[in-house]
Amino acid sequence: MKVSTRSVSLVLLGAVIGGSLTLTQHVMGARSANELPLEQMRTFTDVFTRIKNDYVEEVSDDELLEHAIRGMLQGLDPHSAYLNTEEFNELRIGTTGEFGGLGIEVGMEDGFVKVVSPIDDTPAAKAGVLAGDLIIRLDDTPVKGLSLNDAVKLMRGKPGSELTLTIIREGADKPLSIDIERAVIKTTSVRHRMLDEDFGYLRISNFQTKTTADLLKAVKKMNKENDGLKGLVLDLRNNPGGVLSGAVGVSDAFLNDGMIVYTDGRENDSKLRYDATDGDILDGAPLIVMVNGGSASASEIVAGAMQDHGRAIVLGSKTFGKGSVQTIQDLPAGGAVKLTTSRYFTPKGRSIQALGIEPDISTKPGSWTRPDDEDGYTPLTESSLRGALSNTTVDEDEATEEEAEAAKEDNLVYDDYQLFEALNLLKGLAILNKKSS
C-alpha cells in the first residue's frame, strides 16, 4: 500500500512538533529554541515518502528513521553518534577493559577511519599501526560510506581470526597493507620501572577508573625501593584518553592546589570545574610529561594542567587536539545517544579542541644511528689503542658496573630516543633542584 506525502507529513509534523498551535506560531512569528523548522520538516517528510514509494527495494520505517537519526548525529562532529541497543551493549563491554579485537582507538575523518592511537601491547601496536594512519579498507570492504560503528564491528571479532588493514600513512608513497591477528584485548592502564638510579618511569596507556589508584601504588613502590625519587618521567604518548576522573586524579597527584580543568557548554550541568587537593606525591621532585600526536582527550588534560601550573616540562610533539566532552544518554526505547555536550579548557583558559597541547620541548620520534650500525665501523677511543695504559684509580668491579650502566643507556638511545632525552633533561633538573635547595 502506498502512503501519501500529505498523510506522512501531517503525522510526523503533528507528532514531533505537537499540534497546529505550534505550527501557526512558527509561520506567524519567530521560532523559539524548542520549535522545529517547518519547511525543513516538510522536505524531510517529502524525501521520506519518496523513498517509501519509489526506492528500488522496500525499506521499513524503522530502518529509514534510524538512518536519519544516525545522519543527524554524524553531521555534528566525529564523536557524536547514535547507538542502538546492540551497539550500546558493545560499548559497555568495551569499557570493561576486555574484548576481542585489534587494539586501536579510532575516529572518523573525511569518511575514513583514523587511528587516534594503538593501545600498548595489542596486535595493532605490534603489527606497526601508528597514530594518524587512515584506514581505507578492512579486508575487501571499503571503509568509505561505513559509519564508525559499522567499521568497529568489522574490526572486532573472534580472537585468532585475521584482518587485513589497508592504510594511508603520511610520508608513504602508496597505501600499506597490514595483516593483524585479533586477540582478547586486555588493557593495563599503568606500568612502571626505573630508568636509572632514583629516576622513575611511569607509563599510562589509557585512563580508567582505577588509573589514579594504580599510579599512586606504583609511585609509592618506586619511592620505597629507591629511598625516594629524584625525578619521574610520565609517558602519555599514544594515550587516547578515557574517563575524566582518571585524568583529574592523575593531575591531582602531582599538584598541591589550583584548578586542573574546567568544562563549558550550553547547559548548566555541563559547566564543571575540578580543583587539586593538597599533596604532591613527588614532593616537588622534577617531572617530565611525554606526549605525541596520539595523546588525546584525558592525556591532554593532564599535559595542559602540568604545563599551566609549571609543574612539569612537556616533551614530545603536538597532541591530537580532542578537547570535547561526550555524554552517553540512555533512550527510553533502548539504545543511547553519545552527544558532545561541552569543551575542555586548561587552567589558563586554553581550549584543547582542534589545537592540542604544544610541548615545551619538541622532539622527533625515533632514534639516531651511528656508523657502526651499517658499516661495521667502531669509533676509535684511547682504550682501543694497543698497549694503552689502564686507569689505576678505578678497580675492575667499578669499571664493569660503569660499563653496564653505559650499555643500558646506550640501549635506551636505540630503543627510545625521546625517552633518552627525557631522562637526560630530568637529571639536569634534579641537579638544579639540589643546588637551589
297 labelled catalytic:
yes
Q: Is 349 left (phi over 0), alpha (psi -120 to 50) or beta?
A: left
| pLDDT tens digit sequence for 337-377 | 999 999 999 999 999 999 999 999 999 765 443 334 434 43
| pLDDT tens digit sequence for 2-20 | 444 444 443 444 333 333 2
Handedness of CA 53, 55, 59, 63 (dihedral sign): negative
Which set of grid coordinates corresponds to residue 271?
Answer: 559547566
Which set of grid coordinates corresponds to residue 68?
Answer: 536519519
Question: Which residue of the set 322, 324, 338, 416 is catalytic?
Answer: 322
Query: What is the band of 330 on the pLDDT scale with cuts at 50, 70, 90?
Result: very high
Question: Which residue of the set 308, 317, 324, 338 is catalytic?
Answer: 308
CATH topology match: 85-186 vs 190-362 = no
When pLDDT is averaged across residues 145-172 and rounded to a whole number, the result is 90
Give the model's pLDDT for residue 60: 95
Question: Which residue of the set 297, 299, 324, 342 is catalytic?
Answer: 297
408 labelled catalytic:
no
Better pLDDT: 381 or 2: 381
Give the model's pLDDT for residue 186: 76
Percent of the chain with pLDDT over 70: 78
- Give the pTM: 0.75
Q: Are 181 and 124 spatial neighbours (Cβ–Cβ below 8 Å)?
A: no
Query: What is the band of 180 on the pLDDT scale with cuts at 50, 70, 90?
Result: very high
When pLDDT is averaged across residues 315-343 and rounded to a whole number, the result is 94
Does the pLDDT of residue 217 top 90, yes or no? yes
Could you tell me which of 158, 165, 250, 248 has the C-alpha nearest to residue 203? 250
Hey, where are the domains in the chain? Answer: 5-59, 85-186, 190-362
Provide the residue type at 209 as one letter.
Answer: T
Does the pLDDT of residue 26 top 80, yes or no? no
Among the ranges given (22-31, 77-86, 108-117), the one the predictor scored with the smallest mean pLDDT: 22-31
CATH class of the structural domain 190-362: alpha beta
CATH class of the structural domain 85-186: mainly beta
308 labelled catalytic:
yes
| pLDDT tens digit sequence for 231-275 | 999 999 999 998 899 999 999 999 999 999 999 999 999 999 999
